[in-house]
Amino acid sequence: MNTPLRLVCATPFIALFVALGLPSSALLGQSLSGAASAFADRWRAGEVSMLTESFSRGGVRLQWETRQLGSLDAGRAVASIREYLGNRESVATGVVRVEEVGGDPPKGYAEIRWESRMRGTSDVLARTLFVAFVSEEGGWRVTELRVMP
């Protein structure tokens, strides 16, 4: 019974976001924990092009285990992520920790446990994704992504 009411109430907000030209990702993850969960879900699904919507307009710093790439624009970051993921397939992701650290604009981070394996193998590897966020354009945006062994 409450579901239709929520949908009706949400409709004006959705229309406002569309009218302002804001991306649909601005609707997702209004809280930092929501943004972290959405990122983890997209990472697990391998939706690399969808990750772009969550990147900061100022670029994203990337680190693949011991390989630091520095700050990249969205296009180069997506290419690097595709290369890194290569033959890996995700088994599971889970948000382990989320922390807002304040500042102006507000910043925060999430630790995400990622389990994957190389295609065609059964050995599962566990890694930690460290994802730094900044509040930007009405939502949380990714400023840094590190995959730690």
Question: Which pLDDT does position 29 carry in this prediction?
Answer: 53
28-148, which class in CATH? alpha beta
User: Would you give the end-to-end CA distance of the chain in angstroms?
Assistant: 47
Question: Which pLDDT does position 30 carry in this prediction?
Answer: 79
Global pTM reads: 0.78
Lay out the sheet containing 125-136: strands in order across: 67-72, 60-64, 139-148, 125-136, 107-118, 88-102
41: alpha, beta or left, given left = phi > 0 and alpha = psi -120 to 50?
Answer: alpha
Query: What does DSSP assign to residue 55?
Result: B
Q: For the chain, which residues score pLDDT lower than 70?
A: 1-29
The number of residues in the chain equals: 149
Q: What does the pLDDT look like over 98-120, one tens digit per residue? A: 999 999 999 999 999 999 999 99
For the chain, the domains span: 28-148
**Whole-number Å distance between alpha carbons of 36 and 144:** 12
**Whole-number Å distance between alpha carbons of 41 and 59:** 21
List residues bridging with 125 in a β-sheet: 116
**Whole-number Å distance between alpha carbons of 125 and 115:** 6
Question: Which pLDDT does position 18 carry in this prediction?
Answer: 38
Residue ranges of alpha helices (H) inside the chain are 2-19, 32-45, 48-51, 74-85
Question: Which pLDDT does position 130 carry in this prediction?
Answer: 98
Question: Which pLDDT does position 106 carry in this prediction?
Answer: 96
